[in-house]
């Protein structure tokens, strides 16, 4: 039986993992630690086999973030993770798992351009949020050795019931709009249930290294919105009427252009990067959308 401390009380991923382990695993038990105060510094880590660090600040609106707030991103996303890992190592924990992000490779390519991330793709973090993740990774790798295994996870956009970010916006459009742009893009995505399965395998198999979990199939934004609508008993028509305008907007460098590329741009992991010796994609796209949208 593996004992795992989830560092980050109340986080979406941490809560999802805790619930998934309770319902699906007989080999892992979890405890949760709040990382907002300094109480974690007094906790005895020696009773745990692994620490799963999910505490962090995400979804920054770069145009509205002050220098003081920016510094907080580095303090929480990088410094806190490294400090927690150092304590774990000093107290004999054998494995540390860290939630990084696909954003360490930058933003999505614009409409009509492909962006396929392979093992040779260099890091090019998008903004200070992405850079804070890179700084955390660098600090954690310096702590890794034969007795302290570090797992760095770089997932694409994660979705599931109660998630935040871009998915809820797409879901609202799916139940309100009669038409939606049919842009032939490709995105890597990861259902939270598949992520939880993957993390459980990392712990059970005592892995270390950098990993790139994703769903088995790439997602086209329009097709996903259509499936969300169908899960609510609605029909939404896809049209390419708006594509020239979206492509023009996406070439702009302002906030609007960034939003267009975030929704309709291209960014995928090469499927070879995401293969693992055991299957972790236990939920297909259609089932995952139904589970996300169910009341």
- List of domains in the chain: 2-223+254-293 (3.40.50.720)
Q: Could you write out the DSSP letters of every residue in 63-78?
A: GG--HHHHHHHHIIII
Name the pTM for this structure: 0.95
What residues form DSSP beta bridges with 109? 266
**Nearest 10 degrees: CA dihedral of 76, 152, 199, 105?**
90
pLDDT value at residue 22 = 96
Residue 107 contacts residue 265 (beta carbons within 8 Å):
yes
Write out the chain's pLDDT in tens, 295 residues. Answer: 999 999 999 999 999 999 999 999 999 999 999 999 999 999 999 999 999 999 998 765 555 678 888 898 999 999 999 999 999 999 999 999 999 999 999 999 989 899 999 999 999 998 889 999 999 999 999 999 999 999 999 999 999 999 988 899 999 999 999 999 999 999 999 999 999 999 999 999 999 999 999 999 999 999 999 999 999 999 999 999 999 999 888 887 777 788 888 889 999 999 999 999 999 999 999 999 999 998 6
> How far apart, in whole angstroms, are the C-alpha atoms of residue 79 and residue 138?
11
> How far apart, in whole angstroms, are the C-alpha atoms of residue 77 and residue 74?
5
Q: Which helix (H) or strand (E) holds 137?
A: helix 127-143
pLDDT tens per residue across span 238-250: 999 999 999 888 8
> How far apart, in whole angstroms, are the C-alpha atoms of residue 77 and residue 60?
12
pLDDT tens per residue across span 210-227: 999 999 999 999 999 999
Question: In sequence order, what E strands does 179-289 have?
Answer: 179-181, 189-191, 209-211, 237-239, 268-269
Q: Provide the terminal-to-terminal Cα distance of the chain, rounded to the nearest Å.
A: 34
């Amino acid at each position: 039986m593996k004992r795992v401390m989830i560092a980050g009380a109340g986080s979406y991923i941490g809560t999802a993992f805790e619930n998934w382990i309770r319902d699906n695993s007989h080999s892992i038990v979890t405890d949760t630690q709040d990382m907002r105060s300094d109480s974690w510094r007094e906790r005895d880590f020696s009773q745990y086999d692994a620490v799963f660090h999910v505490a962090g600040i995400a979804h920054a609106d770069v145009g509205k973030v002050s220098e003081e707030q920016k510094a907080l991103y580095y303090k929480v996303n990088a410094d806190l993770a490294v400090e927690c890992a150092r304590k774990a190592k000093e107290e004999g924990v054998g494995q540390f798992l860290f939630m990084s992000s696909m954003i360490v490779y930058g933003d999505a390519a614009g409409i009509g351009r492909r962006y396929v991330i392979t093992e040779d793709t260099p890091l090019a973090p998008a903004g200070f949020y992405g850079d804070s993740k890179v700084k955390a990774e660098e600090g954690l790798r310096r702590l890794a050795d034969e007795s302290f295994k570090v797992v760095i996870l770089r997932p694409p956009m994660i979705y599931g019931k109660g998630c935040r970010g871009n998915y809820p916006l797409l879901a609202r459009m799916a139940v309100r709009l009669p038409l939606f742009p049919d842009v032939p893009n490709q995105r890597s995505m990861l259902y939270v249930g598949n992520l939880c399965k993957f993390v459980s395998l990392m712990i059970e198999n005592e892995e270390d290294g950098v990993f790139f979990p994703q769903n088995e199939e790439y997602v086209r934004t329009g097709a996903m919105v259509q499936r969300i609508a169908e899960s609510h008993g609605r029909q939404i028509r896809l049209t390419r009427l708006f594509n020239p305008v979206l492509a023009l907007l996406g070439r702009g460098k302002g906030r609007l252009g960034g939003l267009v590329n975030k929704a309709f741009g291209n960014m995928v992991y090469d499927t070879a990067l995401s293969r693992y010796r055991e299957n972790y994609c236990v939920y297909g796209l259609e089932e995952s959308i139904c589970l996300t949208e169910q009341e």
